[in-house]
Structure 1
Amino acid sequence: MTPYIDEFITIAIIHLVAVASPGPDFAVVVRHSVTYGRRAALLTSIGIGLGILLHVGYSLIGLSVVIKTTPWLFRTISYLAAAYLVYLAIGALRSGPSSSPAVVGVDTKNKATMSDRKALWTGFLTNGLNPKATLFFLSVFTAIINIDTPFSIKLMYGIYLSVATGVWFCFLSYLLSSSKIAHLIGSKGYWLDRVMGVLLLGLAAKLVWL
């Protein structure tokens, strides 16, 4: 691993910048933290991390180059991703005040509910259908990682990217569902949900028109 430490550090820094930038993953995690509570947000974060493995998988076998060099295929993925983001945005924009008094804090008894499976799949699909992630992994696996880097090392890079992404969003989920943040959001949390809906619509539009 030592000969590849510089390569790994470069990948880690680029990934840190990419994962911290607001995007569909960020918007979905924020929405689930506010609307459904910590458990749903954590499972969504894990799903996002697993979605990274999908990108890693096709990058390792060279499909990312095929996707990028086949315009109609890339556009199809972009439209699918946009449609899914619109679906998520509609749900967020329809958010309103809770019909029962909210219990502010990490207790989620009075929050809307989401099944563990749905939370996991939402995270996985949000990341897995994101063509921007395709571009990121195309850049990483073709422009940054040396062609002579062994497959086993590339696989380790991929596992790191998956775990690091999941950990980042789990941390974000924990932070957003902590008592102080929950008190700050209070009974007006549905407005943040609506803001995330607008952000998701903007991201969907960007996928279609760029």
Structure 2
Amino acid sequence: MDTIIMSLTPYFAEIISVAVIAVFMAVSPGADFIMVTRNSIFYSRAAGLYSALGVSLAIWIHVAYSIAGLAVIISNSIVLFSVIKYLGAAYLIYIGWKTFRSSSKSEIEQPQKENKQLSNWSAFKVGFITNALNPKTTIFFLSLFTQVVNPQTPLFLQIFYGAIISCAHLLWFSSVSVFLSQPALLNKFNLYKGRIEKVIGTLLIGFGLKVAAATSS
């Protein structure tokens, strides 16, 4: 144990930096937050939690290509970056438009019926795709693994950094889902459900347009 601690001593500052950055990355408002919020209040707590799980597992895609050094290639390739960018933007705009258009009197009067319309697997996919196709996340991981993480950092420690970031996202978004899906809050949300849907739909479309305008520099 002492040997392991001694071997990690040179990386303590790096570990702390990654942990702090991971927390700020998770809590920063963005498409992931809006999507988890949407699924938590319009469908169910389970939908929000599975979306949070999807977001946290998608983090590993970014970790994998960053460790492999592919983040530099992606950010420097106009074609690859553009493919990721426009797929992500199109997905957010599509979900945003569906949310914006979904408001109706019958849905407001029958929230429990709507809760059954999104399966756990569908909720997971929404969270996973939203994070995986976000070019801003690609840029973030490129910055993290080139400016914060030393190239000499052992592979197992880089994987550990990925675990820290993934867990930070899972804990944060799970907490968001649990908080927003409390019965008292849901009752209030249902009173203004149509307006909230339009706001969230507009935000998702806005994030989609923002993603479409993203650059790799």
In the aligned structure 2, how far is the partner of 1:198 from the partner of 1:54?
Answer: 28
Q: Structure 1 residue 149: deviation in Å?
A: 0.6
Q: Deviations over 1:54-112 (max 9, x none)?
A: 10011111110100111221112111111111111111101214526357xxxx56635
| Alignment pair present for 1:23 and 2:30 | yes
Q: Deviations over 1:133-162 (max 9, x none)?
A: 001111111110011110110000001111
For normalisation by structure 1, the TM-score amounts to 0.91
Q: What corresponds to 2:137 in structure 1? A: 133
Q: What corresponds to 1:174 in structure 2? A: 178
Q: What corresponds to 1:120 in structure 2? A: 124
Q: For this pair of structures, how many residues does the alignment match?
A: 206
Q: What corresponds to 2:39 in structure 1? A: 32
Q: 1:56 to 1:79 in 2, by over 3 A?
A: same
Q: Any stretches of 5+ residues in structure 1 without a counterpart?
A: none
For normalisation by structure 2, the TM-score amounts to 0.89
Q: 1:110 to 1:62 in 2, by over 3 A?
A: closer
Q: Deviations over 1:181-206 (max 9, x none)?
A: 22332321232222111111111111
Q: What corresponds to 1:165 in structure 2? A: 169
Structure having the higher Rg: 2
**SS, match of residue 99 in structure 1:** helix
More helix by share: 2
Q: What corresponds to 2:11 in structure 1? A: 4
Q: What corresponds to 2:153 in structure 1? A: 149
> What amino acid sits opposite 1:198 in the alignment?
T
After the TM superposition, list the runs of 4 or more consecutive aligned residues in structure 1 that deviate by more than 6 angstroms.
none
Greater displacement, 173-182 / 51-60 = 173-182
Q: 1:60 aligns with which of 45, 51, 67?
A: 67
> What amino acid sits opposite 2:24 in the alignment?
V
CA RMSD of aligned residues (A): 1.7
In the aligned structure 2, how far is the partner of 1:110 from the partner of 1:135?
Answer: 36
In the aligned structure 1, how far is the partner of 2:113 from the partner of 2:210?
Answer: 37
> What amino acid sits opposite 1:30 in the alignment?
T
In the aligned structure 2, how far is the partner of 1:109 from the partner of 1:4?
Answer: 52
Greater displacement, 197-206 / 13-22 = 13-22
**SS, match of residue 115 in structure 2:** coil
Q: What corresponds to 2:54 in structure 1? A: 47
Contact 1:44 1:122 in 2 (8 A): yes
In the aligned structure 2, how far is the partner of 1:97 from the partner of 1:4?
Answer: 55
